[in-house]
Amino acid sequence: MQDSIRTEIEAAAFRQLLEHLDSRKDVQNIDLMKLAGFCRNCLAKWYMAAAAEKGEEIDYDRAREIIYGMPYEEWKDKYQT
């Protein structure tokens, strides 16, 4: 498999994961941590690290906004129990 195709497939799977998490706002980060060992905040940190590896600067708040689909504080106010 060509690297570019693999990257496209991985990106599509990542987008699907974000869509799935967005559709399951009832699942709290603590639940994800207990069951899977990672949460939305972990994804934001990994996103930030991947950007840095490519020479792109993305701060933690912006990375969380990308992962959560909205500013983190807004998500917290609306969905965190």
Residue 65: what pLDDT?
97
pLDDT along the chain (81 residues), means of 10: 95 97 96 96 97 97 97 96 90
Q: What pLDDT score was predicted for residue 2?
A: 94
CATH number of 3-79: 1.10.3340.10, 2.40.160.40, 1.10.760.10, 1.10.3720.10? 1.10.3340.10
pTM: 0.90
Residue 3: predicted pLDDT: 92
Q: What residue spans define the domains of the chain?
A: 3-79
Q: What is the SS3 string spanning the chain?
A: CCHHHHHHHHHHHHHHHHHHHHHCCCCCHHHHHHHHCCCHHHHHHHHHHHHHHCCCCCCHHHHHHHHHCCCHHHHHHHHCC
What six digits make up the tokens of 74?
């807004």
